[in-house]
Amino acid sequence: MFKFLVKRILWLIPVVLGVSVLIFTIMCFTPGDPARNALGADASQESIDEFNEKHGLNDPYLVRLGSFLKSTFPEFDLGTSYINGSSVSEQILSRLSYTLRITYIGILISIALGIPAGIIAATNQNTWKDSLSMVVSLFCASMPSFWFALLLVMFFALRLGWLPTVGVKSWTGYILPCVSIGIGGAASIARQTRSSMLEVIRQDYVTTAKAKGQSRSRIIWGHCLRNALIPVLTAIGGQMAVLVGSSLVCETIFSIPGIGSYLVTGVNQRDYPVVLGCVVILSLIFSLTMLCVDLMYAVVDPRFRNILKS
């Protein structure tokens, strides 16, 4: 177990390093002028040259990559923003909690809606309940989260006035963003739960449980669910990736001061340190979450525990 953890944590290093190099390279070869963005369209040529010199933007690619990796990894210094000179690390730290809250509440909503919906669909296979939940989940899965977010705002905030349109001054502000990013995941998880549940219901050990005289509901919850969850966990892991992506857009739509909106502003303004800092942190969060998902396998499936031990 301990060995597995250490091994997995060591694996984070090449993953985060690889992501950083990739993003740095992409940013390097993307058109756009950070100096113009930072100084404004009417800045003089001298001040632009001075800006590029100061931030090392005139250096060759490999030199810049080297100095970026050196400052980021051994020193954990993500640099300062080109635009306002604020420390990227400080900004990210103060924004981190918003992003974590939104993505994790989002994934909890996905799980809380998706798994029961999948179970209901599977246990009522080929009835109206099954068809209804599958049609709804197909609809939700194929809908982009930003569009759903806008619909929610229109209806619940503007038409009914129940919830704030933007901002997270109180907990009510979290409802719409979390629901809008969670709903797509809920749909995918529901479909995966349904199919793996149907698979499990046909297994011999379910017949054994029935032959013991166990009731149908106890069989579903006590015998089927845990076995059906194993492939669902994989789906949840995949949804985490999608969710981190949709949280970027949702933070912008709902003006939430999280890492996502910071990253989007950074990209728009060609603010390289901000973009790189955000991506490094997001890839770290994502990798750690996937590690947790993998550990969940061991909780659900005893066969996996042996793999951990060896």
Binding site for other proteins (CB under 8 A): 202-205, 207-215, 223, 226-227, 300-303, 306
For residues 43 and 206, which CB has a smaller minimum distance to other proteins in the complex? 206
CB of 310 to other proteins, least distance (A): 13
Distance CA 287, CA 283 (A): 6
Output 31 or 213, the one with its CB closest to other proteins. Answer: 213
Q: Please tell me the number of Cα atoms within 13 Å of 49 on its side-chain side.
A: 3
Q: Please give the radius of gyration of the chain, using alpha carbons only, rounded to the nearest integer.
A: 24
Closer residue to other proteins (CB): 77 or 301:
301
Decide: 210 and 202 in contact? Cβ < 8 Å: no
Helix pair angle (302-309, 272-300), 10° resolution:
110
Residue 110 token pair = 């996905």
Task: For the CB of residue 133, give the shortest distance to other proteins in the complex, in Å.
Answer: 21
- Distance, in Å, from the CA atom of 220 to the CA atom of 222, rounded to the nearest integer, reads 6
Nearer to other proteins, 143 or 300 (CB): 300
CB of 303 to other proteins, least distance (A): 5
Min separation Cβ 5 and other proteins, Å: 22
Q: Which of 3, 210 has the CB closer to other proteins?
A: 210
Rounded to an integer, what distance in angstroms lies between the CA atom of residue 232 and that of residue 197?
10
Instruction: Closer to other proteins by CB, 96 or 206: give it.
Output: 206
Rounded CA separation 46/35 (Å): 11
Q: Shortest approach of other proteins to residue 196 CB, angstroms?
A: 13
Max CA distance (Å), the chain: 86
Tell me which amino acid residue 81 is. Answer: S
Nearer to other proteins, 25 or 306 (CB): 306
Tell me the closest approach of the beta carbon of residue 308 to other proteins, in angstroms.
14
Of 50 and 301, which has the nearer Cβ to other proteins?
301
Write the CA distances from 94 to 75, 77, 164, 299, integer angstroms. Answer: 20, 15, 22, 33
Q: Residue 12: what residue type?
A: L
Cα 87 to Cα 28, 51, 266, 271, 278: the distances in Å are 21, 17, 13, 12, 12
- Report how far apart, in Å, the C-alpha atoms of 188 and of each of 177, 246, 290, 293 are: 18, 15, 17, 17
Q: In the complex, what is the shortest distance from the CB of residue 298 to other proteins, in angstroms, rounded to a whole number?
A: 12
Minimum CB distance to other proteins, residue 208 (Å): 5
